[in-house]
Amino acid sequence: MIEFKNVTKVYTTGTEAVHDATFSIDKGEFAFLVGSSGSGKSTLIKLILKEEEANSGNIIINGKDITYLKPKRVPYLRRSMGVVFQDFRLLPDKTVYENVAFAMYIVKSTPKHIRRRVPDVLAQVGLTEKAKMYPNELSGGEQQRVALARALVNNPSMIIADEPTGNLDPNTAWDIMNLLTDINARGTTVVMATHAKDIVKTMKKRVIQIEKGNIVRDDK
């Protein structure tokens, strides 16, 4: 599903953010990406999303080597991934329903399909009652659930989450973790970068640790 073969990323500033990384994450896995601040977690995620280019090595996503993917193919790659960030990144002038529907609109889903699918995914994240509200009327946990609904709505094969609980209090963070566990149990691969040691410890999932750009630990 996600395979890194000897991947190195050096930014134009000269910082080597990822050094010779080799690992693979199988379909249906749940993997944490951990490491201190500045260790290279976000860079790994950006490489998976092809927001950054590797300097050397190969990255294979769903059986396809994306190293030399043509720019016009990148949107198709991203459709296989649902992405969630620490700061939610919702559209402030759209309602909960519209935020989720918009993700389907941009991949040219039919209005009929959108009308059927959005309520289902809002129900899955427990937000049926909040469909008409705007992001600034919601708690942080609710906003992150909208972001998860938006990430899920096009049925991606994987969810990539960069510090999704970073702005949430512990109880709310666990609500999000329970949702991610549920999503993973339905067959979606989950890759989550996090600082939250208690969450990683309790979940007992695979842990890939990166320090100073090097993969220093990989516990299944």
- Positions touching ligand ADP (CB under 6 A) are 11, 13, 15, 17, 35, 37-43
CB-nearer residue toward ligand ADP: 19 or 94? 19
Nearer to ligand ADP, 33 or 118 (CB): 33
Closest by CA position to 173, among listed 191, 152, 194? 194
Q: How far is the CB of 160 from ligand ADP (least distance, A)?
A: 13
- Nearest approach in angstroms of CB 38 to ligand ADP is 4
Instruction: Report whether 193 contacts 44 (CB < 8 A).
Output: yes
Exposed, middle or buried, 35 (CB in 10 Å: 0-12/13-18/19+)? buried
Token digits for 86?
A: 């620490």
Specify the residue, 17 or 159, whose C-beta has the smaller distance to ligand ADP. Answer: 17
Of 45 and 90, nearer to ligand ADP (C-beta) is 45
Residue 161 and residue 109: Cα distance in Å, rounded? 24
Nearest distance from residue 45's CB to ligand ADP, in Å?
8
How far is the CA of 106 from the CAs of 16, 92, 135, 152, 156, in angstroms?
35, 17, 20, 14, 15
Sequence-separated (6 or more) residues with CB below 8 Å from residue 15: none
Shortest separation between residue 12's beta carbon and ligand ADP, angstroms = 7
Closest to ligand ADP by CB, 18 or 118:
18
Which region, left, alpha or beta, applies to residue 41 given φ > 0 means left and ψ of -120 to 50 means alpha? alpha
Q: Which of 183, 121, 191, 188 is nearest to 153 (CA)?
A: 121
Using CA atoms, how far apart are residues 86 and 153, in angstroms rounded to an integer? 19
Per DSSP, 52 falls in state S
Residue 39 or 99 having the CB closest to ligand ADP = 39
State the nearest-atom distance from the C-beta of 81 to ligand ADP, in Å.
17
Looking at the Cβ atoms of 42 and 184, the one nearer to ligand ADP is 42
